[in-house]
């Protein structure tokens, strides 16, 4: 076994992220009184696929990459979720991300289950041709398990419309049909939806405006960690809405300017230099320091585990909008809640991305495409109604919005399962009538 194969094996044991993802979920299930037997089903992914992907590199050597796809739950429809290219990708992470997708899709009120995929790779070290071969090989390995009515991948960290185009093209070659709904997040000219590129941030922005109103936040300052697709678009939207964005960061570092950063100019700078770092007229800070700046709205839009037990106490924001998946640990969530900081949890805040993915899939099935205005209108309606559902559940159960989000999602899932008659095969007299989905404390 080579060193890198050993490292990959080590990563596969990592279950920490998934275990911590379960903490608020269990809390919600307890408050709701979800039956233990149903919990046992929901705590396990339906299918986990690990593939080895040999790729010929530009120098004619062959490298073997490891790819993952976890299809967590398909009780409500085909599974859905992005594909991540990152050196830290491992099965535990993909499992947690697939778990979050499951609840995100229910909260977004779209007819899907949850999945996630990834490849353990540093895409910055590969040429474009190598990335294309890797992406196509990933689809070859997973083709029997995906499809428009089975499992529909999309972009995630370090994947984009171009990667989706390669993957769609490869899938179409394999099945011998021009199937477009097998992937979402495609380029608009190749079966994509207008508005998909900005959807994650725009959805988050709609409910940020709503939350500001509902929670009575008057100060118009923001800090954003992460300047990829979601972070950059959010910075732009907030800037245009009159917010002063005082701090931002990306993987190379952070910047601060107390009077507000000129976001359009910063976007030009990032496009030119590849980073926000070194933007003239700003002070250099670390990416972690962005989280602690004096700004009313904090948007973590990078990776997991950024707001932790260690720094949560120093968060000064009044509202945290989780555009990243899993940026706040369960311990940190408790601290923020006690401090009275409102958190729009990831499974609500970043659901705009998968919502417009759903619109894309619908358009693909119909072969008829909507205007950007239509997409925005439909997205806004869905986001605002998801916000209300989550906020109402949180208020009703006197808990934080993350727990409220899981409560709302669990209630909806149970409602469907009751119709599906999950216990139909049970023939013991009297047992059928039992309230199987909720336990004796069930509400």
113 versus 254: smaller Cβ distance to ligand GLU: 113
The 3-state DSSP class for residue 367 equals: coil
How many residues in the shown chain lie near ligand GLU by CB under 6 A? Answer: 12
Residue 158 Cβ, how far from ligand GLU at the closest point, in Å?
11
Contact residue for ligand GLU among 74, 156, 169, 250 (CB under 6 A): 156
Contact residue for ligand GLU among 102, 357, 363, 411 (CB under 6 A): 357
Contact residue for ligand GLU among 226, 231, 345, 353 (CB under 6 A): 353
Positions 162 through 221 that interact with ligand GLU (CB under 6 A): 184-185
131 versus 354: smaller Cβ distance to ligand GLU: 354
102 versus 293: smaller Cβ distance to ligand GLU: 102
Q: Is 382 in the site for ligand GLU (CB under 6 A)?
A: no
- Using CB under 6 A as the criterion, what x/- string covers residues 42-71 for binding ligand GLU? ------------------------------
Of 4-12, 65-73, 77-85, 362-370, the segment contacting ligand GLU by CB under 6 A is 77-85
- Catalytic pick from 116, 186, 270, 318? 116
Strand residue runs (E) in 268-410: 283-285, 297-300, 319-321, 342-344
Residue with token string 């590849």:
274
80 versus 194: smaller Cβ distance to ligand GLU: 80
What's the DSSP call for residue 145?
Answer: G
- In contact, 180 and 169? CB cutoff 8 Å: no
Residues contacting 273, CB < 8 A, separation 6+: none
- Using CB under 6 A as the criterion, what x/- string covers residues 79-98 for binding ligand GLU? -xxx----------------
Of 48-56, 74-82, 373-381, 396-404, the segment contacting ligand GLU by CB under 6 A is 74-82
Residues contacting 145, CB < 8 A, separation 6+: 47, 49, 69, 71, 151
| Distance, CA of 129 to CA of 133 (rounded, Å) | 6
Positions 324 through 343 that interact with ligand GLU (CB under 6 A): 325
Residue 84 Cβ, how far from ligand GLU at the closest point, in Å?
8
Of 87-95, 217-225, 337-345, 348-356, the segment contacting ligand GLU by CB under 6 A is 348-356
For ligand GLU, which residue has the nearest CB? 82
97 versus 296: smaller Cβ distance to ligand GLU: 97
Residues contacting 244, CB < 8 A, separation 6+: 220, 221, 222, 259, 260
Q: Is 354 in the site for ligand GLU (CB under 6 A)?
A: yes
The 3-state DSSP class for residue 234 equals: helix
For residue 308, what are its two tokens?
């932790």
- In contact, 55 and 63? CB cutoff 8 Å: yes
For residue 291, what are its two tokens?
């989280």
152 versus 401: smaller Cβ distance to ligand GLU: 152
Q: Is 306 in the site for ligand GLU (CB under 6 A)?
A: no
Contact residue for ligand GLU among 17, 34, 91, 154 (CB under 6 A): 154
- In contact, 369 and 186? CB cutoff 8 Å: no
435 as an active site residue: the answer is: no
> Beta 244-250 vs 253-256: how paired, if at all?
antiparallel
Question: Please, is 354 exposed, middle or buried when counting C-beta atoms within 10 Å of its C-beta (0-12, 13-18, 19+)?
Answer: buried
| Distance, CA of 224 to CA of 247 (rounded, Å) | 6
191 versus 254: smaller Cβ distance to ligand GLU: 191
Residue with token string 């179409």:
172
Residue 290 Cβ, how far from ligand GLU at the closest point, in Å?
21
- In contact, 196 and 187? CB cutoff 8 Å: no
For residue 430, what are its two tokens?
């009297």
Residues contacting 130, CB < 8 A, separation 6+: 55, 57, 58
User: What residues are labeled active site?
Assistant: 116
Binding interface with ligand GLU (CB under 6 A): 80-82, 154, 156, 184-185, 325, 350, 353-354, 357
């Amino acid at each position: 076994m080579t060193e890198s194969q050993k490292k990959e094996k080590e990563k596969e044991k990592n279950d920490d992220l998934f275990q911590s993802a379960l903490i608020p979920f269990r809390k919600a299930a307890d408050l709701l009184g979800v039956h233990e037997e149903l919990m046992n089903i929901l705590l396990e992914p339906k299918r986990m696929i690990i593939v080895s992907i040999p790729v010929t590199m530009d120098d004619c050597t062959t490298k073997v990459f490891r790819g993952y796809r976890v299809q967590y739950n398909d009780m409500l429809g085909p599974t859905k979720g992005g594909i991540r290219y990152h050196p830290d990708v491992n099965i535990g992470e993909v499992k947690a991300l697939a778990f979050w997708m499951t609840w995100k899709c229910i909260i977004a009120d779209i007819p899907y289950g949850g999945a996630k995929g990834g490849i353990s790779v540093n895409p910055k070290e590969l040429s474009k041709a190598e990335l294309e071969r890797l992406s196509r090989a990933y689809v070859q390995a997973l083709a029997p398990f995906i499809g428009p009515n089975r499992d529909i991948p999309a972009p995630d960290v370090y994947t984009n419309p171009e990667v989706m185009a390669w993957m769609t093209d490869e899938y179409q070659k394999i099945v011998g049909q021009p199937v477009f709904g097998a992937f979402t997040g495609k380029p608009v000219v190749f079966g994509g939806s207008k508005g998909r590129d900005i959807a994650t941030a725009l959805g988050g922005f709609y409910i940020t405006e709503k939350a500001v109103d509902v929670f009575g936040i008057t100060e118009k300052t923001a800090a954003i960690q992460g300047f990829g697709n979601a972070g950059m678009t959010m910075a732009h939207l907030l800037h245009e809405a009159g917010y002063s964005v005082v701090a931002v960061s990306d993987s190379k570092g952070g910047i601060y300017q107390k009077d507000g950063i000129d976001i359009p100019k910063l976007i030009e700078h990032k496009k030119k230099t590849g980073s926000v770092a070194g933007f003239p007229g700003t002070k250099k800070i670390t990416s972690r320091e962005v989280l602690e700046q004096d700004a009313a709205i904090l948007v973590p839009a990078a990776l997991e585990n950024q707001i932790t037990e260690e720094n949560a106490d120093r968060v000064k924001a009044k509202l945290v909008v989780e555009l990243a998946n899993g940026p706040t640990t369960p311990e940190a969530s408790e601290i923020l809640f006690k401090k009275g900081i409102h958190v729009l949890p990831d499974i609500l805040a970043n659901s705009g991305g998968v919502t417009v993915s759903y619109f894309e899939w619908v358009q693909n099935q119909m072969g008829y495409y909507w205007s950007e205005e239509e997409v925005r209108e439909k997205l806004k309606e869905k986001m605002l109604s998801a916000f209300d559902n989550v906020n109402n559940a949180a208020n009703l159960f006197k808990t934080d919005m993350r727990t409220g989000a899981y409560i709302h999602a669990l209630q909806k899932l149970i409602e469907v399962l009751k119709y599906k008659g999950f216990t139909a095969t049970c023939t013991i007299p009297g047992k059928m009538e039992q309230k199987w989905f909720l336990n004796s404390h069930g509400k």
